[in-house]
C-alpha cells in the first residue's frame, strides 16, 4: 500500500527569534565556503575538494517557514547561493535544537565569521557524529523521518505537475528514473522561484526526478528535481553542481552556470562521480 506523506508548510511560532521583524544584517567580513551540505554523509559530495566547514553563520533555528522567509529577506549582500535554507537534520549543528535554519555563510574556522543582529555563529558537528544523529531518527527498517528543505531555484516560477499522474506512471514502469524524465505531465500550477517547502526525507518518492511541493492553493504537486536546489552546491564563481542520479552507489552529477535568475538552459554538463560499494 502506498504510504501517504504530507508536506509541512503550516507556519508555527519561531523557536529562537520573534516572527514580527528581523533586523537587516550587514555584509560578512570574510568569504564563506560554497553553499550546500556536500560535507554531510547523507549526501554524495558535490564539492569533494572543498574544505570542510566547522561553523555556520545562521539565523534560527525556526519552527516556522514564514519566520525563515523573513530571515531570507533580511539577508545582506551575500555570495552566490546564500542564504542557504536547510533543516537542522541536514546541517548538523552541535546545538541539537531542531528547526529550519537560514545560513548566511559556512566557514572553515569560526574565527572567519562575524555575527550580526539576530544571527549567531554556531559550531557544526564533525561528519560522523552528524551522521549518527541523523541515523538515530530512522533505525533499520523504519522510514527516514529526517526533515529536508525543498527550495525552488532562483528566478522565474517553475511548473508543478500532477502528483497522481507521476505516481501512477511510476507504478507501471520498470525503470522509473529513465521513463519519468521523458514523460509529458499535466501541469497543475506554477511555484515561485525561491519558494521553500519542508518534507520528511522518506516523502521524496521520486528522488533525482521529482520533488514534492504544494501549489499556492494547497494542491499537492511535484516539480522537476532540476528546478530545485536539492543535493546541489552553488559556487561563488557562478557554477552549480547537483546530484541527478545514483546507481550502484555511484553518483551522477550535472553542472550548470547559475545566477540570481536561476541555472542556464539545457540539461547541463554530465559528470560521473566516484563510486561507493558498487552493485
Residues of the chain with pLDDT > 70: what percent?
80
- Which of residues 32 and 175 earns the better pLDDT score? 32
**pTM greater than the 0.95 cutoff:** no
Averaging pLDDT over each range in 28-42, 131-145, 173-187, 220-234, which range is the top one? Answer: 220-234
What confidence score (pLDDT) does residue 67 get? Answer: 95
Of residues 116 and 13, more confidence is placed in 116
The confidence band for 25, taking pLDDT boundaries of 50, 70 and 90, is low
How far is 76 from 32, CA to CA, in rounded Å? Answer: 14
Q: Exposed (0-12), middle (13-18) or buried (19+): which is 92, by Cβ within 10 Å? A: buried
Q: What is the distance between the alpha carbons of residues 30 and 86, in angstroms, rounded to a whole number? A: 22
pLDDT score of 176 = 43
Percent of the chain predicted with pLDDT > 90: 53
Residue 30 has pLDDT above 70, yes or no: no
Residue 32 has pLDDT above 90, yes or no: no
* Largest separation between any pair of C-alpha atoms in the chain: 54
* CA separation for the pair 186, 160 (Å, rounded): 8
Amino acid at each position: 500500500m502506498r504510504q501517504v506523506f504530507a508536506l509541512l508548510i503550516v507556519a508555527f511560532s519561531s523557536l529562537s527569534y520573534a516572527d514580527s521583524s528581523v533586523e537587516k544584517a550587514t555584509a560578512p567580513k570574510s568569504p564563506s565556503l560554497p553553499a550546500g551540505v556536500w560535507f554531510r554523509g547523507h549526501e554524495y559530495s558535490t564539492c569533494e575538494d572543498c574544505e570542510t566547514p566547522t561553523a555556520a553563520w545562521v539565523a534560527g533555528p525556526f519552527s516556522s517557514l514564514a519566520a525563515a522567509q523573513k530571515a531570507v529577506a533580511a539577508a545582506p549582500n551575500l555570495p552566490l547561493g546564500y542564504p542557504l535554507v536547510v533543516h537542522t537534520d541536514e546541517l548538523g549543528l552541535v546545538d541539537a535544537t531542531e528547526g529550519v535554519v537560514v545560513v548566511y555563510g559556512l566557514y572553515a574556522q569560526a574565527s572567519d565569521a562575524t555575527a550580526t543582529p539576530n544571527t549567531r555563529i554556531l559550531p557544526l558537528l564533525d561528519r560522523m557524529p552528524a551522521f549518527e544523529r541523523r541515523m538515530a531518527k530512522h533505525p533499520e527498517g523504519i522510514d527516514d523521518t529526517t526533515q529536508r528543505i525543498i527550495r525552488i531555484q532562483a528566478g522565474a516560477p517553475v511548473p508543478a505537475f500532477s502528483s497522481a499522474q507521476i505516481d501512477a506512471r511510476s507504478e507501471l514502469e520498470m525503470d522509473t528514473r529513465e521513463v519519468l524524465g521523458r514523460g509529458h505531465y499535466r501541469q497543475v500550477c506554477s511555484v515561485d522561484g525561491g519558494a521553500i517547502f519542508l518534507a520528511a526525507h522518506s516523502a521524496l518518492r521520486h528522488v533525482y526526478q521529482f520533488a514534492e511541493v504544494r501549489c499556492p492553493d494547497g494542491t499537492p504537486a511535484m516539480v522537476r528535481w532540476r528546478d530545485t536546489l536539492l543535493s546541489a552546491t552553488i559556487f561563488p564563481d557562478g557554477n552549480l553542481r547537483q546530484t541527478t542520479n545514483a546507481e550502484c552507489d555511484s553518483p551522477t552529477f550535472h553542472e550548470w552556470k547559475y545566477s540570481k535568475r536561476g541555472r542556464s538552459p539545457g540539461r547541463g554538463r554530465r559528470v560521473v562521480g566516484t563510486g561507493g560499494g558498487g552493485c
